[in-house]
Chain A
Amino acid sequence: MPNYLTNGHGLASWLLTKDHKRIALLYLASITAFFFLGGMFAFLIRLELLTPAGDVMTSESYNKMFTMHGVVMVFFFLIPSIPAVLGNFFIPIMIGAKDLAFPRINLLSWYVYVLGGLFTLVAALGGGVDTGWTFYTPYSTAASNTHVITAGLGVFITGFSSILTGLNFIVTIHRMRAPGMTWFRLPLFVWSHYATSLIMILGTPVIAITVLLVAVERGLHLGIFDPALGGDPILFQHLFWFYSHPAVYIMILPAMGVISEVVQAFSRKNVFGYSFVAFSSLAIAIIGFLVWGHHIFVAGQSVYAGLIFSILSFLVAIPSAVKVFNWTATIYKGSVSFDAPMLYAFGFLGLFTIGGLTGLFLATVGLDVHVHDTYFIIAHFHYIMVGGAIMGYLAGLHYWWPKISGKMYPEGWARFAALIVFVGFNLTFFPQFVLGYLGMPRRYHVYPPEFQVLNVLSTAGATVLAVGYLLPMVYFTWSIFAGEKAPMNPWGVKGLEWEIPSPPPTENFVVSPIVTHRTHQYAPSKEVGIGG
């Protein structure tokens, strides 16, 4: 029987496919391209910051570098990464369905994504954008003479791809579950994608309209945000962060879903407190919409609004902490093995915790006045987005690679790469906490000489990190051609995806499964009580 990779040959069989698994691979290829593009910009940023003087590029070019880095990484890599690749591939399989609810819309979402990406590439090749990924007004509408509208349209268009994906997931999870797959038997990966999809649908329209308003003000001089035209610049920041704070949860929630799966699989234990972990995803999705004002504490927002947003921001840390504690309790007394996916999961646990805790520092208004717009912020969000979301993505990619490709990756190399990533990551970003605390502002290409040592450490770390990211690229590609054939269930773990061949047939299940218990039920080992 042909599998989904061999069922149909030629370019058209890929570009016109309606198979969620092939569309996932189309996404994989395109987000990988954007990841390396974004990485090139990051490399140039770190190169410039090697010395206190601006010796590699002008300040104008530097502004474009960090803007393009942010735009590409956020909108074209992190937001689609786990949902569009791993979610697309595994949600239907995990719930026992043959495909997503709307296969054509799924393909459309990829084309929309590519179109948005092309706009961004045109903006980059045409000379770039220098507003920062945040497109703050009035600079973006009244002053910048770069390709703001083109890049803004790119973000606007890709937003629709995200909305379509979210819509597809929600309908699929509601309507396509196999008989017996009740809500509380769903794998936690599916729960976290459900929560993510809610954010995609409720938040993305706001950013789309906001960047459109920027284009309108820039192109037609209608006063919306520019005070000179009677507008209000803080209004832009409210609208932008109304989406963009929840968007950080679009990036981290799917990673949390991966970690839930990986931690159970490599501890051979059911997750501790399933329903708490499931509902904490929903809680994060909802509370995440109530905290955006913590980005504008010092931008002119009223003091009282700052207090409200500060308190609400503390609340959002609770469900995140619930997850971290429950994963830890899952590992506790589990039969833990240290395969590459689990190494990434351990990396996630530690780094996400640091990122989340420093988020609480920042949500404290008094402290934020000190570190706002310094490298402390950069370190905070990279601990979560790179240390958390990308670690989760890599954990998932390794965990499911045998299923996706039908080949085993070289485990020794993979463990080595996981360690390199962990070391390189910390060397890159930990010094940035210190730099920020000492007062080095973000988004400057020259700095006082006393900051050089820490910056050199950071650049050195970035080089190590780059090696860590290139390694999986190399051995995954190698494994496609020369890797050992993967069995149906190489890890010996639970889950519907491990009960079908690797790689799966086009229709996933030859006979539709009937689910009689939680698909991740490990042998009912004696419940271990904490402290008992």
Chain B
Amino acid sequence: MSGHVAPKSLYCTVFVTLMVFTGLTVWVAFYDLGLYSNIVALGIACIKATLVILFFMHVRWSTRLTWVVVMSGFFWLLILFGLGMSDYLSRGWVQGTLR
């Protein structure tokens, strides 16, 4: 249906970028950034996922309906993270409960 044909060079660029980010993930894993370790790792993962969705899955050239579908999938992920974090971030706020 989406008849868009992207140039091969674009796919190559995206692929190389993904590989660079993979290397970056491995590299930062050797540094202890404390709380930021997770944030950096998740940040890199999000960028990579976005690249895959936009280019490899052709969403960049797709209809608005496809965008709605993709965004709601992402929104659901935010629900998982958001409500999940409501637990992790508020552990131990009440005296005598576990951290």
B97 A302 Cβ-Cβ under 8 A: yes
A441, B70: Cα distance in complex, Å: 43
**In the complex the two chains form, is B87's CB within 8 Å of A234's CB?**
yes
Of A202, A238, A304, A309, which contacts B76 at CB under 8 A?
Answer: A202
Is B80 engaged at the interface, CB distance under 8 Å to the other chain?
yes
Residue A303 CB within 8 A of the other chain:
yes
A366 on interface, CB distance cutoff 8 Å: no
A302 touches B93 (CB 8 A): yes
Is the C-beta of A308 less than 8 angstroms from some C-beta in chain B?
yes
Q: Which chain B residues numbered 56 to 99 have a C-beta less than 8 Å away from chain A?
A: 72-73, 76, 79-80, 83-84, 86-88, 90-94, 97-98
Contact with B along A453-488 (1 / 0, CB 8 A): 000000000000000000000000000000000000
- Interchain CA distance A292-B83 in the complex, whole Å: 9
By beta carbon, the residue of chain A nearest B94 is A303
Asked if residues A302 and B91 are in contact (CB atoms below 8 Å), the reply is yes
Q: A289 to B84, alpha carbons, bound, how many Å? A: 12
The tally of CB-CB contacts under 8 A between chains A and B is 45
* CB-CB under 8 A for A289 and B79, given A202-B73, A302-B90, A308-B86: yes
Count residues of A near B (Cβ-Cβ below 8 Å). 18
Looking at chain B's contact residues, the main secondary structure is helix
Q: Which residues does chain A contribute within 8 Å of B87, judged by CB atoms? A: 234, 238, 293, 301-302, 305
A283 at the interface (CB under 8 A from B): no
Q: Which of A206, A302, A309 has the most CB of B within 10 A?
A: A302
| Cβ B84 vs Cβ A303 within 8 A | no
Q: Number of residues in B with C-beta < 8 Å to the partner?
A: 17
Known: A202-B73, A234-B87, A238-B87. A302 touches B80 (CB 8 A): no
Q: Which residue of A lies closest to B80 (CB)?
A: A242
Within 8 A of B (CB), among A222-252: 234, 238-239, 242
Known: A202-B73, A300-B98. A305 touches B79 (CB 8 A): no
- Bound-state CA distance A82–B86 (Å) is 35
Contact call B76/A305, Cβ cutoff below 8 A = no
A290: interface (CB < 8 Å): yes
Least CB separation from B73: chain A residue:
A202
Kindly supply a per-residue 1/0 record for chain A positions 294-312, scoring 1 wherever the CB is within 8 Å of any chain B CB and 0 otherwise.
Answer: 0000001111110011000
How far does the alpha carbon of A238 sit from the alpha carbon of B80 in the complex, in Å? 8
Q: Indicate if the CB atoms of A303 and B73 lie closer than 8 Å.
A: no
Among A238, A239, A309, the one with the most B-chain Cβ atoms within 10 Å of its Cβ is A238
B80 contacts A305, C-beta separation under 8 Å = no
Listed residue (B72, B73, B87) with the most chain A CB atoms within 10 angstroms of its CB: B87
Closest to A235 in B: B84
Of the candidates B72, B90, B98, the one whose C-beta lies within 8 Å of that of A305 is: B90
Residues of A within 8 A of B91 (CB): 302
Bound state CA distance, A290 and B76, in angstroms?
10
- Which of A202, A239, A293, A305 has the most chain B CB within a 10 Å cutoff? A305
Q: Interface 1/0s, chain A 66-80, versus B by CB < 8 A?
A: 000000000000000
B92 and A302 form a contact (CB under 8 A) = yes
Cβ B93 vs Cβ A303 within 8 A: yes
6 A-B pairs, CB-CB below 8 angstroms? A242-B84, A289-B76, A289-B79, A293-B83, A303-B94, A308-B86
- Interface of B with A (CB < 8 Å)? 72-73, 76, 79-80, 83-84, 86-88, 90-94, 97-98
Known: A242-B80, A242-B84, A290-B83; 18 extra A-B contacts, CB below 8 A, are A202-B72, A202-B76, A206-B80, A234-B87, A238-B84, A239-B80, A293-B83, A293-B86, A293-B87, A301-B87, A302-B87, A302-B90, A302-B91, A302-B92, A304-B90, A305-B86, A305-B90, A309-B83
